[in-house]
Structure 1
C-alpha cells in the first residue's frame, strides 16, 4: 500500500500544496513522477485523482500531485507559472537529491498535459500527455460562431457531441485567458512555449475527441521539423484524458521507464 502525505505546501504566497504518494520500497534511487490533473483550468483538484496517485506509487514512483490556481479568479499564465514554480521547488526541496532531475518524469491529463509540456520544455523531464490541448489562437479564430459553454447540452440544447465539445473548448480557453485577444491566445499555444530542453515525449489521444487530433498532428510536425523525438498513440473512440487514462497507464509507464533507462 502507498503511504500518502497530504497538503505539503510548495507555494506559501498562493497557499498551494501537493500530495505525495510514496511506494513501499522508497530508496535514494526512487523514480519521481509528477501528475498534473486536468479540468480546463477552471475546475479539478488533486483529491479527484487520489486513486491514480496510489496506482502510480504502487508502480514504483514517488508521485507528486500538485494543485494550481484556477480561473476565472486566476487568469493565464497563473496555472502555467504555478507548474514551473512547482518544478523548481521540487528540485530544491528535501524530496530530491543532486542529480534527481534525471529521475523525474511527468504525466499530464487534458490541460494538465498542456502545462506538463511547458515544464518539459524548460526542465527536460520525460513526459506523457493524455489528450493535451496544444493549439488555441487559430481554433478560436476559426470558431467565431461557436457559443462558449461548460455544459452545451443543458445550457444551449446542443445534441451533437462535436458541438458540445466545441462549446466547452471555447469556454475553458476563454475562461483561462479572460480574453479573445489573439496575442494572448498565441502565448497559450504550445508551439510558442520555450521548448529548448524538451526531451522524450509521448502523446496519447483519441481519434475523435475534445482535443482536435489535427492540432496534435500539426504540433508533432512542428516538433519533428526541429528533430524532436515524439511518440503518438491514437486510440479508437472519443474518450478524453481520464476517460481512458487508467486503461493506458501501463503504456504510459512503460514509456517513462524506458526514457529513464536511456538517460543512464
Structure 2
C-alpha cells in the first residue's frame, strides 16, 4: 500500500493506493460523509477486499464543505481520474468507480462526465427537486452519538432522517438554491455517460426518488443501468456484503 500520495499539491490532497498482485482494472473508491466529513482511511477494509479481486484501488481525500462547497469535491474527483489516466499504471480503458452516500454521488459524476462504469451505494442523487418538494422539513445536523467515528460499514441511520438529509445537501451549496440546481447530477446525464450500478435500501436515509429519476434519465439517453433495492434501513457500506458481488460483476462486465 502507498499511503498519502499527494495528487493535488495546491490543495494538499492525498490518496491511498492499494496494489493487487496482478492488476485487472483500477477502481476509484470514494468515501462518504455528506460532503462535510469522512476520510479515505474509512475505506481500508473495502479496499483490501477489492484488491483481492484484482483491482488497483485508489482511495482519495477531497475538499469538504462548508469550507469548500460544490463543485470542489466533484472537481477533485475529476482530477483523481485524470491523474490515474496519466499515471504509469496500465489501466487506460480499465477504470471504474465506487462510492457510498456522498461518495456515491461523486462516483455517479465520474460515470456521467468521464464515461466510465461506476457503482453507487446509497448515492445522494435527488438534490434540487427534493429540497423544493420538502419546504416543511427543518434542516438539522445529525445528533447521533459518535456518528463521525463509525466505520463506513457500521453506519445504520435507522431509516429516513429528512432533517439531516436536507441539512447536508444545503450545507454542500452554502444554502444557495441556484448552486444546488447546478449540483444535481441528473443535469449531466448524456449519451456518453458510463453504465451505472445503483444500490439503495428501501427505507433508509437516502430517498428512492433519486434512484428512480436517475435510472429513467439514463434509459432516455440509452445508457444501461442496474438497480439493487435492499430490504431494511441500512445505509451505504452497511449493506456491502449484500451488494458487493453484484457490484463487482457489473463493473467488470462493463469494462
TM-score in same-fold range (> 0.5): yes
Question: Is 1:10 the counterpart of 2:2 in the alignment?
Answer: no
- After superposition, residues 24-39 of structure 1 pair within 5 angstroms as 25-26=21-22, 30-39=24-33
SS at match of 2:247: helix
Q: Pick the aligned partner of 2:242 from 233, 243, 247.
A: 247
Once the 2 structures are TM-superposed, how far is the Cα of residue 195 of structure 1 from its aligned partner?
3.6
- After superposition, residues 196-207 of structure 1 pair within 5 angstroms as 196-207=191-202
Taking structure 2 as the reference length, what is the TM-score of the superposition? 0.90
Once the 2 structures are TM-superposed, how far is the Cα of residue 237 of structure 1 from its aligned partner?
0.8
| Structure 1 equivalent of residue 79 of structure 2 | 85
- After superposition, residues 142-181 of structure 1 pair within 5 angstroms as 142-151=133-142, 165-181=161-177
| Structure 2 equivalent of residue 49 of structure 1 | 43
Query: Cα deviations across residues 19-76 of structure 1 (Å, max 9, x unaligned)?
Result: 00111x235xx31111111100000100112111111111111100011001111111
1:120–1:195 CA contact under 8 A, matched in 2: no
Once the 2 structures are TM-superposed, how far is the Cα of residue 170 of structure 1 from its aligned partner?
0.8
Q: Quick one: distance in 2 between partners of 1:94 and 1:117?
A: 25
| Structure 2 equivalent of residue 229 of structure 1 | 224
Once the 2 structures are TM-superposed, how far is the Cα of residue 196 of structure 1 from its aligned partner?
4.6
| CA RMSD, Structure 1 to Structure 2 (Å) | 1.8
SS at match of 2:161: helix
2:228–2:243 CA contact under 8 A, matched in 1: no
Which residues of structure 2 form unaligned runs of 5+? 146-156
SS at match of 1:184: helix
SS at match of 1:102: coil
- The structure whose Rg is larger is 1
1:187–1:193 CA contact under 8 A, matched in 2: no
For the structure 1 residues 16 and 153, does the alpha-carbon distance in structure 2 shift closer, same or farther, using more than 3 Å as the test? closer
| Structure 2 equivalent of residue 216 of structure 1 | 211
Q: Quick one: distance in 2 between partners of 1:74 and 1:107?
A: 22
Once the 2 structures are TM-superposed, how far is the Cα of residue 150 of structure 1 from its aligned partner?
2.2
Question: Is 1:19 the counterpart of 2:10 in the alignment?
Answer: no
Number of aligned residue pairs: 244
| Runs of 4 or more above 3 Å deviation | none
Taking structure 1 as the reference length, what is the TM-score of the superposition? 0.87
SS at match of 2:63: coil
Once the 2 structures are TM-superposed, how far is the Cα of residue 203 of structure 1 from its aligned partner?
0.5
Query: Cα deviations across residues 175-202 of structure 1 (Å, max 9, x unaligned)?
Result: 1100242x21111111112545212211
